[in-house]
Chains A and B, each alone.
Chain A
Amino acid sequence: MTLLEFFIEVAGTYVSTLAFGVLINIPRRALNFGGWIGVLGFLLYRFTVLSGGGYVVGNLLGAFAIGVASLQAARIKKMPMILFNIPALVPLVPGGQAYQMIKNFALGQNATAFVFMMQVVMISGSIAFGFLLSELVNRVQQRAWRHRR
């Protein structure tokens, strides 16, 4: 991957996260933060995959980073957390695999379709598990905050 391709990917992730935020009417003040959180999650995913970590671990780390970063953003901006993690999640959605699954089912190639279906299930599961882990960190942090006050 050349440097130019890398920059195109980062810019594409940022723009698409921001634009998805516009579609679900996120307040203007929260848009920029959401975009950068999306880039952060996607970069973690991309680097994990490039260094041979596999897409399951990559999605898990990406979702984990998005979950933790969203809570920090929510605390800084004093806004609900879902304003940041919903758009940030969009670049991790397994759109390509889901499409291949539908296509192969529609064309009657069920064996190939099942391979892609497994991938979709694994990726969705790893994203959900990444959220679970980030929620754990968030709860621990909240408890620490309450104790300090």
Chain B
Amino acid sequence: MSSQKKRDQLILHTALTAGRIMIENGSEIERVEDTMTRIAHNAGAETSQLFVMITGILMAINGEVGAQIQPVKRRTFDLEKIAVVNQLSREFAAHDITLRQFADKLDHLDSETKYFPMWAQLLAAAMVSGPLEVVFRHNLHDFWISCFVGMIGWLVFYLLNKFIQIRFLSEFAGAATIGILAVFAVHLGLGLSVDDIIIGGVMPLVPGVPITNSVRDVLAGNLVSGPARAVEALVSAAAIGFGIAMVLQFL
């Protein structure tokens, strides 16, 4: 293989990996296109053609290698990785790192996950539920029980997501847990209003990333990926709704 061909191969590999990491972790399509074009341009490719969708990327640059496809299989929300790719792309544009280093760092980033520790995430789930219950419903009495119910609901959601990996089932189970706990809490006299506890408790499960991204994608003219994300958000919301509705119907 000639060195030019190797170089082109590396450019394609780097740009496609960067794009895949960004889509997998919840970036909007326009940013992915922008970053990949910049990487190719800064690496010395004269032209680049891109086709980015939420389930896969197709990219070609001028030169000796053909176009390549990168499927996007899983989808999680880890916005730190998007920020890191963004930062690496800036460093590459400023010639602080070489293309080879960039590719290595991306491969490394892909394999590691640096979430907040578990206790911090549980605390965060509690701190989404309780304060929003007070903000929405002005019911200070149910603050602590909302925190607790929201935390347990989110824990169920998290564990199911991690070990079973059936999409939308985890939202359903989390919401059902929240509903059952809220009804029992009121039965036991720990809370005043089932409605308020449930409203606070489901807030950590709200699909915030797909909602925001679907609006931004549609506005940027990505008429395939935008509605696809909107469907994702709607099905998540519907799963939460079914979980709550089932509990309210039976208890």
Mark A residues whose CB is within 8 Å of B: 5, 8-9, 11-13, 15-16, 18-20, 22-27, 30, 42, 78-80, 82-83, 85-87, 89-91, 93, 95-96, 98-100, 102-103, 105-107, 127-128, 131-132, 135
Contact = CB atoms under 8 A, between A and B. Distances in A.
Interface of B: 26-28, 31, 77-80, 82-83, 86, 90, 114-116, 120-121, 123-128, 130-132, 134-138, 140, 154, 195, 198-199, 202-204, 206, 208-209, 211-213, 215-216, 219, 237, 241, 244-246, 248-249
B31 A80 contact: yes
A24 B79 contact: yes
Contacts of B83: 26-27, 30, 79-80, 83
Which among A20, A30, A100, A105 has the greatest number of chain B C-beta atoms within 10 A? A20
Contacts of B123: 19
B86 A24 contact: no
A103 B245 CA distance: 6
Which among B114, B115, B136, B204 has the greatest number of chain A C-beta atoms within 10 A? B136
A71 B160 CA distance: 35
B79 A83 contact: yes
B80 A90 contact: no
A40 to B, nearest CB: 15
A86 B137 contact: no
Given A24-B77, A99-B199, 8 more contacts: A13-B135, A80-B79, A80-B82, A83-B82, A86-B212, A95-B203, A99-B195, A135-B216
